[in-house]
Structure 1
Amino acid sequence: MKKVLLAALAAATLGIALPASAQNVAIVNGKPVPKARVDMLAMQLAKAGRPVPPEMQAQLRDEVIAREIFMQEAQKRGLDATDDFKAQIELARQTILIRELFADFQKKNPVTDADLKAEYDKFAQANGGKEYKARHILVEKEDEAKKILDDLKKGAKFEDIAKKASKDPGSGANGGDLDWAAPGSYVPEFSNAMVKLAKGQTTPAAVQTQFGWHIIRVDDIREAQVPKFEELRPQIAQQMQQMKLQQFQDGLRKNAKVE
């Protein structure tokens, strides 16, 4: 064993090629199965997020040998000469080549830290400001809304009326609760009326939108809770990479001469 190891080391040092059998994992029906196939399969599995541990190498070898056995049988039956097989090979070739093109583009055009920070700053600016925890009661007619306002002035509970009368299926069952949201989350008529209210106030008159008539109450106001840069960094990076790739694809389509 020691002599074999020394011989291999000497061959590697002097650049001498080892026998072909050392580069193969097996010989199936007289045809060598190169070790490179095992390495390639392991690499593909690793790229897919399934790295092969050392103890699984034997299974990988068996898989490669089994593929060679099945491939030889398919060739013996002439299946590699059919039009269907040739068409599938061409589609597979195109898929692999396109994947390599996109991977090469992304490698040469990475998203920089400056790009990520600039995108985050735009997000933070758009989602900053105040958030409102509001409730509303939605009805179809203004007369209904006016009656509800009168009932509220007489001491009726907002939550109880919302559960009974609100046409908004999402919030009605929860007493009209809309949870925390920025003004931009609502249609302009609604948000314009809401931001004029202080904590605990209810709109003095019903507000009309495309959905009907709203009576709005603001339960609380706070500064928007914008996630920190490091929390959003992976999502921003993925989105920007996809955007860059899409622009690259669009550019290729635009500049291509299609007749």
Structure 2
Amino acid sequence: MKKQLLSAALVALLASPVLAQNLAVVNGKPVPSSRVKALQQQIEASGRAVTPEIMAQIKEELIAREVFMQEAKKRGLDGSDDYKNQLELARQTLLIRQLFTEFQKKNPITDADIKAEYDKYVAANAGKEYRARHILVEKEDEAKALIADIKKGAKFEDLAKKLSKDPGSGANGGDLDWAAAGSYVAEFSAAMVKLDKGQMTDTPVKTQFGFHIIRVDDVRDAQLPKLEEVRPQIAQQLQQQKLSAYQEGLRSKAKIQ
């Protein structure tokens, strides 16, 4: 009979509003259950799923924090200047984060915004792409000699591997992969776009890097990603731009002495 009464009392206690509102009571001080939810939301916001194991860790962490906080206060550490300064910085960080979160909620990026930005990207990058190779050397005479050797039958790729001063492409026979003309410095680009498929420059092309021998292996229409493939990146970019403009606006209106 006594065991039954004790069990009934324990069930009633666990179901009481006090324990429902608190995770635990540490040295007489309640640890609100709302802290569990707050920490859970932080973890979920970082992209991690809150499994039962992680939930158990959250609860243990919050209880441990309360134990440590009580000890720190007992030692008077909450009255130190260092603590107060760090507390103020943390308060500012949280408030600023809330400010920016509220702004982004009230100023969302629309599908029309994303489509307009994508159209600008397409307009700026449409056109031709070139699969080119080059050999980079320091002196014009050296470049002229290599052009003569290639015209006599020397293999462009072998000379690039052996003599090109561009370590990135030289190891690949001078291959620069597919790229738009605008990806290169102006002198290089101007010479390259004049070449037909399979054609090589007859004279060295001088740039800030040295002297180039350029060969175009192929030309194609620009291969641009579809809107849906880049939608998340465009949305993130636009959101950051809008937030940056908001921040700059607030700073410009502030009276700073």
Q: What band does the TM-score fall into relative to the shorter chain?
A: 0.7 to 0.9
| Secondary structure at the counterpart of residue 219 of structure 1 | strand
Letter in 2 for 1:162: A
The AA in structure 1 aligned to 2:94 is: I
Question: Which blocks of at least 5 consecutive residues in structure 1 are unaligned?
Answer: 9-17
Structure 2 gaps of 5+ residues are 1-7
1:161 equivalent to 2:154? Answer no
Q: 1:90 aligns with which of 83, 88, 93?
A: 88
Q: 2:133 aligns with which of 129, 132, 135?
A: 135
Q: Is the 8 A contact 1:42 1:51 kept in 2?
A: no
Distance 1:39 1:126, change over 3 A: same
CA distance in 2, matches of 1:35, 1:173: 61
Structure 1 counterpart of 2:4: none
SS in 2 for 1:221: strand
Residue 228 of structure 2 aligns with which residue?
Answer: 230
Partner residue of 2:190?
192
How far, CA to CA, are the matches of 1:105 and 1:141 in structure 2?
57
Mark the CA change 1:160 to 1:60 in structure 2 (over 3 Å): closer, same or farther: closer
Would you say 1:241 and 2:239 are equivalent positions? yes
- Measured in 2, the distance between the counterparts of 1:183 and 1:90 equals 52
Indicate which of 148, 168, 172 corresponds to 2:146.
148
Q: Does 1:183 align with 2:188?
A: no
**Cα contact 1:159–1:176 (8 A) shared by 2:** yes
Name the CA shift for 1:145/1:110 in 2 (closer, same or farther; >3 Å). Answer: same
Change beyond 3 A, Cα 1:32–1:169: closer
Partner of 1:11: none
TM-score of the two chains, using structure 2 as the length reference? 0.88
Change (3 A) 1:216 1:25: closer
* Cα deviation code 1:133-154 (max 9, x no counterpart): 1111222222222222222222
2:102 corresponds to which of 101, 104, 126:
104
Q: Counterpart of 1:114?
A: 112
Following TM superposition, by how much is the alpha carbon of 1:54 offset from its aligned partner in structure 2, in angstroms?
4.5
Cα-Cα RMSD: 2.0
Once residues 204 and 21 of structure 1 are traced to their aligned partners in structure 2, the CA distance between those partners, rounded to angstroms, is 86
Code of the residue aligned with 1:234 in structure 2: it is P
Q: Report the Cα distance in structure 2 between the residues aligned to 1:166 and 1:21, rounded to whole angstroms.
A: 75
* Aligned match for 2:218, one of 220, 223, 232: 220
The letter of the residue matching 2:124 is A
Q: Which residue of 2 aligns with 1:34?
A: 32
**In structure 2, C-alpha distance between the alignment counterparts of 1:81 and 1:227, rounded to whole Å:** 57
Name the SS for the 2:173 alignment partner: coil
Cα distance in 2 between the residues matched to 1:51 and 1:127: 39
Letter in 1 for 2:75: R
Q: 1:233 Cα deviation (Å)? A: 0.7
Q: How does 1:46-65 map to 2 (within 5 A)?
A: 46-54=44-52, 56-65=54-63
Q: Does 1:70 align with 2:68?
A: yes
1:201 maps to: 199
Instruction: Measure how far apart 1:175 and its partner are.
Output: 1.6
Q: Measure the CA separation in 1 of the matches of 2:105 and 2:223.
A: 34
AA at the equivalent of 2:200: T
Q: 2 CA distance for matches of 1:60 and 1:146?
A: 70
Whole-angstrom distance in 1 between the partners of 2:118 and 2:134: 32
Supply the distance in 1 between the matched residues of 2:179 and 2:98 (Cα, whole angstroms).
Answer: 43
Q: What TM-score do you get using the length of structure 1 for normalisation?
A: 0.87
* Residues 133-185 of structure 1 deviation map (CA, whole Å, 9 limit, x = unaligned): 11112222222222222222222211122222222222222221111111001
| Residues 211 and 60 (structure 1), Cα distance of their counterparts in 2 relative to 1, 3 Å cut | closer
Aligned residues: 246
Secondary structure of the residue aligned to 2:153 is coil
Per-residue CA deviation, residues 94-117 of structure 1 (Å, 9 max, x unaligned), is: 110011011111111111111111
